[in-house]
Amino acid sequence: MAHIIVVGNEKGGAGKSTVSMHLATALARMGHGVGALDLDLRQKSLGRYTANRAQFLAQEGVTLPGPVYRDLPEIDADALAEGENPMDHRLAAAVAGFTDEGYDFVVIDCPGSHTRLSQVAHTYADTLVTPLNDSFVDFDLLARIDADGETIRGPSVYSEMVWSARQLRAQAGLKPLDWIVLRNRLGAQAMVNKKKMERALERLAQRIGFRIGPGFHERVIFRELFPRGLTLLDLRDIGVRQLNLSNIAARQELRELVRTLDLPGVTVDI
């Protein structure tokens, strides 16, 4: 079976597609076969990212490693049993296709909202990556917290969905999913809010069972890369010889992210 990496939460703007593309490209550059799926059927940020990449590489006459992106396949709804959900079968067929073709990893980018597809994808996850803005607005998806920013009252909607996914995996005899929460899009300034978020996440991690991983700082380079479909790892290959300090730091953040995920068969050499 391919190792399934789901990148998800239920809030937009946390950097899920950026994390998905950089992670998938990093794995491809290390020699792994990587498939990619986008479950945001309306916006398709990851799908557009990969399409931009294909167009840019074709224009420049350059070949670079990257994930193989596919839309969910169409299925014959008439062949389904009564009550079966067509979307479930489309996702299952897409994952099975990559697995049957010998891909090592499938990266699934989920929408920033609760959907049936996202819910099912979380049950597939061997590794779940949840990028989180450094804000208690985003933290509220994981847990409810008192006004003091310190006292956690209980898990919230997204944590409950992950708990359900864990239960379903256990009932099916699958290995437990490894859940990593990333503090993403961090600002450069040291602020009181950042310290409170750090403490709150550390307490919550022990309570509901996730690991805390390094995300990306907020950088202009990420917005500049998307129209060309590029990642930080591609810059030297397209002629950027002198990386600035921000780009070098961002590449190191990506290395640390891949190391933290501790994926099977992956030796980090990017």
Q: Are 116 and 87 in contact (CB under 8 A)?
A: yes
With tokens 């008439």, the residue in question is 78
127-150 average pLDDT score: 87
Tokens for 121, please give them: 């994808």
Tokens for 153, please give them: 């009252």
Digit-coded pLDDT (tens) for 76-109: 777 777 777 888 889 999 999 999 999 999 999 9
Surface-to-core class of residue 175, CB atoms within 10 Å of its CB (0-12 exposed, 13-18 middle, 19+ buried)? exposed
pLDDT computed for residue 145 by the predictor: 84
Query: Binning pLDDT at 50, 70 and 90, where does residue 246 land?
Result: confident
Q: Cα-flanking dihedrals φ and ψ of residue 36, to 5°?
A: -140, 135
Q: Residue 262 — left, alpha, or beta (φ > 0 → left; ψ -120 to 50 → alpha)? A: left
Query: Binning pLDDT at 50, 70 and 90, where does residue 191 land?
Result: low
Query: Binning pLDDT at 50, 70 and 90, where does residue 159 land?
Result: very high
Q: Are 134 and 186 in contact (CB under 8 A)?
A: yes
pLDDT computed for residue 189 by the predictor: 58
With tokens 């959900």, the residue in question is 85
pLDDT computed for residue 188 by the predictor: 62
46 closest CA partner among 64, 75, 25: 25
Q: What is the dihedral of CA 247, 252, 257, 259, to 10 degrees?
A: 150
pLDDT computed for residue 147 by the predictor: 77
First to last CA, the chain: 25
Stated pTM of the model: 0.94
Spatial distance between the Cα atoms of 209 and 118, rounded to a whole number of angstroms: 20
Spatial distance between the Cα atoms of 190 and 129, rounded to a whole number of angstroms: 25
What share of residues in the chain are helix, strand, coil (percent, to 5)?
45, 15, 35
